[in-house]
Every structure is written in structure tokens, then in C-alpha cells.
Amino acid sequence: MSSEKSSPSVISGAGVSPGHTPGGAPAAETVRRGGQSRGLLASELGVLFRRRRTWAMLCALAAIPILIAVAVRVSSAVPPGRGPAFLDRITQNGLFVGVTAMLVSVPLFLPLTVGVVAGDTVAGEAGQGTLRYLLVAPAGRVRLLLVKYAGAVAFAVAAPLVVALVGAAIGAALFPVGPVTLLSGDSIGASEAMLRLLLIAAYLAVSLMGLSAIGLFMSTLTDVPVGAMASTVVLAVVSQVLDALPQLEWLHPWLFSHYWLDFADLLRQPVAWDSFLTNSLLQGGYVAVFGALAYGRFITKDVLS
Amino acid sequence: MTRRWLRWMPAVAVPAVIAAGVLSGSLPASAGDPLPEKTPQQVLLMIAQHGEKSLSGTLEQSSEIGLPELPKTGPGAGSAETAWLELLTGPHTARVYLDGPGKARVQIMDRMAERNAVRNGDELWFYNSKDNTAAHAQLPADAAGRHEARPGAVATPEDLADKLLAKLDASTEVTVGPDVQVAGRAAYNLVLTPASEVTLVDSVAIAVDGASGLPLGVEVKARGQAEPAFSVAFTALTLETPDSAIFNFTPPPGATVKEIPLPAHHEKAAVPPSDPAAAKTAKRPTVTGTGWESVLEFPAGTAALPGQIPPQTEVQDPAAANPLQPDSSVAAGTSSGAAALLEQAAVAVPGGRLVSTSLVNVLILDDGRILAGSVPLERLQAAATQR
């Protein structure tokens, strides 16, 4: 880029001037490669979100708030303190459908779907025999790994967002929407409540980053996508089981699932940001560790399929 | 081949960097000037003179007193009857906001729930998000400036320190230990060691902010236990006046609001206000022994009210008398999880049953009397046979 700015005659003699060739070639190369990885990312996202499986999983996630809303609608009033938290608030305010649905989907449904997508990233291509064609293109393994992780992250962002938005929509359709009572007893308007709902979706997306990185690493280990998916999901469950054992209290702050349910801190007044920060740090650590492991494995891997 | 191993370098380096970062973060920050030397008297004076009445901070409280931890989920979890026991058994985080003597808010942050106590002038509100209930009390006008009327379920360090210091006498050795860091602030560490060899309490340490004299944390250690039996300390603290909107509380729509009638007489405000019957029947406990070896004796007739069994020592008083649960009427305890839990925790000893914790022993005699004290069982039994 700098070489183009250095000469005012760029417009007239664009690539023709021989003086520009040595500096211009690497610049053009970066532009081309940058455009290429953007193209790679676009095609990765396109493939991911055109897959019928992705849509099936998103639809299944969307069914959770719908089921909750319909069940609450047709049944009599839920007594306070029964069932999942916030369930009794739904009849007063439809926006709580989104919160309840996210709470319900955190332990299993979200890790399950994210595990499937993240576990499929590399192993899926290897299993289909397309991985080596991807590597024939001069994209490079690191770039391919980054693009694959970006795809998994995109799904991890989309999944809680779908639950939140569908929840808010079905809640607004079936129940009154008004000022929302926070955990602290203070009330906020519906628009601010919508913001909190999106914040919770963002919190969950961040929470799933670590699991996505684990899934990516698992995916580089095998050519069988189902194996990578299953082990990722199993790890998510194991982490939550360990988190429930009081004997392992020293381990708890290091488990990637430890802060998953602390998104309720966003429903306090004033918002308690501590858990958001701690969670982001922890997930960042997991992304760094398992990203490095996936790099080590994928760079040294003999790609035969 | 060496190139191949080089590729794995990040996978080794990243965990190493993280481990190094964690280790360096957990080391005590010794940077900064050490606090000037002070005698225990001077530190005590700092506490007495500190003028910090406005603050917002986060408190963490934890107890390891040997009681079984209550289930956090399932039936009975978080019921009103077990709430005070729950405060004694598990860790808690609470946010505290103070603005002068008349405005206070305490938020106990439970998982997916929150308990609130708000005081704004002579308006007192309690709110529990778990069952969406609120309780309101109108303080008598003359109580507006009274220090004791401040709400607080997780006791603020200030409260605990004040209570402990009032108890100081010849029975206790007071020293100033090495400086400590609490909530990122350098603090004096005032250590109280009981002179008595009998008591279960090993030491009580109070962290006093070196700059302002505000008590930042209290830690109680029991004999023969490495972990503190009870600790409460700020993890974050700012000494600025909080936003005044924090102290405005109106019960949310749909909440069940209960009005607590407060007797105008101050003496009676100490008993659970929701149960005037208990106020009449409760007899005053008698005290035998002195200092750390004191034994409280509750006369027969109170035994049927398990709500009164909580270990009543100077240390745990504020946590046991939980004003956030105004509806935890003592009489309801008979059929509650609290009673069941007490049955479970109590072991049969000659002459009665014993609820033993690392800080307090409570002896429930067969004749209905209850003896409690921070002393071994033999002392309780001796006190029981004295009369």
C-alpha cells in the first residue's frame, strides 16, 4: 500500500511502471491473500449456514423457547420457586421466555450443537476426503485452521442469539410485555430489557468460545467427525459434572463450564460485570491453549485424505 | 524432525505463560511502601475514628465450621426456614452500598437469585427474588440515626469488628501482625488471640485499611483447623458515594408485599418482629463463665423452637439473626428443613444431643435446656450440672 502512495504517477502508470514492480508485487500478494482468506471465510460460513444440519440444530434450539412458552401458556399459573428460575415470571412478562430458554439450554443443548459444529470443522473435511484439496490451494494450514475456528465461533454466536430472539418473539406473542423486574427487585423498561437479553446471548457466546476451541483441537486429532463431536460434547458434560463435586472445589474456577450459569449477574441492578470479565479471561485461556494444541497437531499432521 | 517439534512449541509455551501469569498474580503484592508501624491501640483508634460512611464494595463470606452444606437445588432449597443455616454453611458474595448512616443496600448474590435489603431513611425494604416477595418496615422516626438499625445479613466487617472490640478485655491478647492486602488496599492486621486455653477459637484477625481505618475483613480461625472457620472480607471497594438511585426501592409489580409492624420500643426490635408470640415466651439466656469461655444457657421451653438454636456467639450473631428472612418465624421451624438438618447434625451425648461445629458447640439437654458456647463439650456439661 505504501508503495502506491509514494508515487503520484500511480494513476497513470498503474502496474506498468517497472519501478513499482518490486514493491508492488508483495503488496498485491497480501491483498490477494487477504482477499483469499476473506473469500475462504465467506465460503466457510456459506457452507456452514447452508447445511441442512446447521438449520436443523438452530430450529431445534428455537423450539426450546417455543415449547416453554406454549407449555406455560396452556398450563395454569406456575407457583413461584418451582421449576427453572424465571419460569414463574413468564406469565407477567413474555421477555422472560428468552431468559428461561437460555437457562434451560445452557447445560446440554448449546454445548451439544456447538460441539457438533466445532467437532466437524477439520475432521468433517478429512472424513469427506476434501481436506487435501483445501490444502492444495495456497491458503496455508494456519489460515484454514483460523477460518474453520471462525466458522465454529459464528455458530456459537448464532445459537444463543436464536434462542434469545425466538424466545422474546414468542413471549411477546403469547404474553404481555412490559417493564421487567430484575433480580434486585428494580424494574427496567422493555427496550433496556431487550438489551440485557442480547447481553446474555453475548455472554453465552463468549462462554462457548472455549468449547469451540476444544472441539477444533479434537477435530484435528481424527478423520472421523462423529468421534470429535462426541468427545467434545462428552468433555462439556464431564466439566459440568466435575463442577458439581464439592470435593474438587480447587478445580472449579478452572473448568470452562464454571461460569456458564453466572449470566444471571447481567440481570442485577447495577450489572455485576465481574463474572463477564472472569469468564472472558477463562475462555480466552482455553482458546489460547487449545488453539496452540490444534496448531501443533494440524501443522504436523500428515494429510492423507 | 526438529522443525516438527518446533511446531508444538506454542502448545507448550501458551500453558507455561498462563501458569506464570497466574502464579505471579497470586503472589502477595509487596509493591508500595509498607504502612507505618502502629501499636494495637493506635489501630483500634483508627477503627474508632474512621469517618468512612459512604462506600460501595463487594464482600465475600465463607464458612468452614463443619456443618453439612445445604443442597443448592431440589426441594426445600432456599426455603425461608433454612435460609439462616444456609448463610452459615456456604460461601456468599454480597454487594454493599452505604451512603451515610441513613442509606444502605445489601445485595446477596445467589445463583439465579438475589436477596436485597434496602434502607433509605426510615424506609426499610427486604426483597427476595427467588419467590418474588418483598417486606416493608417503617422505622420509627427516632431510629433514623441509630447505627444498630442498619440492615445486613452478611455482616459488614465494620459491624463484626465493632462487636468484637467491644468484647475486648483482659482475656485477649491483641497484636498487630504483618500488613495484608485486602481488596487491593494495604491494611493493618489486628490479631486477637484468646488467652484462654479452653476456647475453640484460635484467633480472630481484623484487617484495617491503612489509609482510612475502615475494617476491611474479619477472619476467625478455629483450633486445629488450617482454613479459617469464618471469614468475611471486601474483594472490591471504592470509598465514593454510590449513585443515590441505588437506594430507591419500590416493590416490583406482581411481588407479594408484606408489611412488618415494628414496635416503637427499641428493646423489642431485637426479637424477630414477625412473631410477637415468641417475644413473650422467649426467656433471657443466662451466662456462666467469662470472656471466651462464656456459656450461654437458654432455659427449658425454648427447645421446641429450633429457630433459636443457632450458635449465638459474638462472632456469628449477625449472620444467625437474618433480617432478610422476615417470615422465617421460629415456630415454623418444627416441621421445616432446618429441624431435619439439626437432627442430622446433632449427635447423641450423655444427657442430651450435641451440635458440634469448629467454633461453637451447642448442647441440647433432654430436659429442654440449651447450652451454647465456644468451648469443648465437657465445659458445657459442667455448666449444665452446676445448677
How confident is the model over A265-285, as pLDDT tens digits?
999 988 999 999 999 999 999
pLDDT band at B286 (very low <50, low <70, confident <90, very high): confident
How confident is the model over B335-372, as pLDDT tens digits?
455 666 667 778 888 888 888 888 888 888 888 888 88
| Cα-to-chain-centroid distance, residue A251 | 24
What is the DSSP code string of B206-262? EEEETTT--EEEEEEEETT-SS-SEEEEEEEEE-SPPPGGGG---PPTT-EEEEEPP
Instruction: Judge: B254–A85 Cβ closer than 8 Å, yes or no.
Output: no
> B275-385 adopts what CATH topology?
TATA-Binding Protein (3.30.310)
pLDDT at residue B195 in the model: 84
Chain B residues close to A268, C-beta within 8 Å: 107, 109, 114
Give the torsion sign (CA, B95, B97, B101, B103): negative
Q: How close does chain A come to B315, measured CA to CA in Å? A: 26
- The owner of cell 441442512 is A52
Phi, psi angles (nearest 5°) of residue B314: -65, -25
The order of strands in the sheet holding B201-209 is B172-182, B185-194, B201-209, B215-222, B230-238, B54-63, B92-99, B103-110, B113-120, B123-128, B133-138, B256-260
Q: Is the pLDDT of residue B382 over 50?
A: yes
| Closest Cβ–Cβ partner in B58, B116, B254 for A184 | B116
Residue A8 lies in a domain: no
pLDDT at residue B293 in the model: 84
How confident is the model over A33-80, as pLDDT tens digits?
667 778 889 999 999 999 999 999 999 999 999 999 999 999 876 676
Mean pLDDT of B280-304: 72
Q: How close does chain B come to A304, measured CA to CA in Å? A: 17
Highest mean predicted confidence (pLDDT) among B167-171, B187-191, B295-299: B187-191
**CB of B75 less than 8 A from some CB of A:** no
pLDDT band at B256 (very low <50, low <70, confident <90, very high): confident
Instruction: Judge: A185–B251 Cβ closer than 8 Å, yes or no.
Output: yes
Q: Is the pLDDT of residue A264 over 50?
A: yes
Looking at 2.50.20.10, 2.30.110.10, 3.40.50.980, 3.40.640.10, the CATH number of the domain B40-247 comes to 2.50.20.10
Choose between B99 and B253: higher pLDDT: B99
**CB of B78 less than 8 A from some CB of A:** yes
pLDDT at residue B139 in the model: 83
Residue A13 lies in a domain: no
Residue percentage of chain B with pLDDT more than 90 = 15
Average pLDDT, chain B: 75
pLDDT at residue A37 in the model: 77
Distance (Å, whole) CA B288 – CA B281: 22
Mean pLDDT of B2-26: 86
Total number of domains in chain A: 1
How confident is the model over B301-310, as pLDDT tens digits?
654 444 444 4
Residue A77 lies in a domain: yes
Run of H or E including B62: strand B54-63
Choose between B374 and A111: higher pLDDT: A111
**ipTM entry:** 0.77
Q: Is the pLDDT of residue B264 over 50?
A: yes
How confident is the model over B172-196, as pLDDT tens digits?
888 888 888 888 889 999 898 888 8
Q: A137, A303 in Cβ contact below 8 A?
A: no
Residue percentage of chain B with pLDDT more than 70 = 69
How confident is the model over A9-35, as pLDDT tens digits?
333 333 333 334 344 444 555 555 667
pLDDT at residue B57 in the model: 92
Distance (Å, whole) CA B360 – CA A91: 46
Q: How many CB pairs under 8 A join A and B?
A: 91
Average pLDDT, chain A: 86
Instruction: Judge: A264–B95 Cβ closer than 8 Å, yes or no.
Output: no
| Cα-to-chain-centroid distance, residue A245 | 27
pLDDT at residue A78 in the model: 66
pLDDT at residue A238 in the model: 97
Highest mean predicted confidence (pLDDT) among A11-15, B108-112, B161-165, B322-326: B108-112
Q: How close does chain B come to A185, measured CA to CA in Å? A: 6
Long-range Cβ pairs for the range B265-271 (8 Å, 24+): B266/B143, B266/B146, B269/B149
Q: Enter the C-alpha cell of residue B311.
A: 450458635
Chain B residues close to A246, C-beta within 8 Å: 69
How confident is the model over A195-248, as pLDDT tens digits?
999 999 999 999 999 999 999 999 999 999 999 999 999 999 999 999 999 889
Chain A residues close to B8, C-beta within 8 Å: 296, 300
DSSP secondary structure letter of residue B334 = G
Count of C-beta atoms within a 10 Å radius of residue B202:
17
pLDDT at residue A97 in the model: 94
**CB of B19 less than 8 A from some CB of A:** no
Domain span at residue A88? 20-300
pLDDT at residue B150 in the model: 44
- Lowest mean per-residue pLDDT among A76-85, A96-105, B315-324: B315-324
Chain B residues close to A285, C-beta within 8 Å: 18
Q: Enter the C-alpha cell of residue A282.
A: 477463562
Domain extent listing, chain B: 40-247, 275-385
B40-247 against B275-385: fold identical: no
Residue A1 lies in a domain: no
Distance (Å, whole) CA A95 – CA A89: 9
Question: Closest residue of A to B257, CA-based?
Answer: A185
Q: Is the pLDDT of residue A288 over 50?
A: yes
Chain B residues close to A269, C-beta within 8 Å: 246
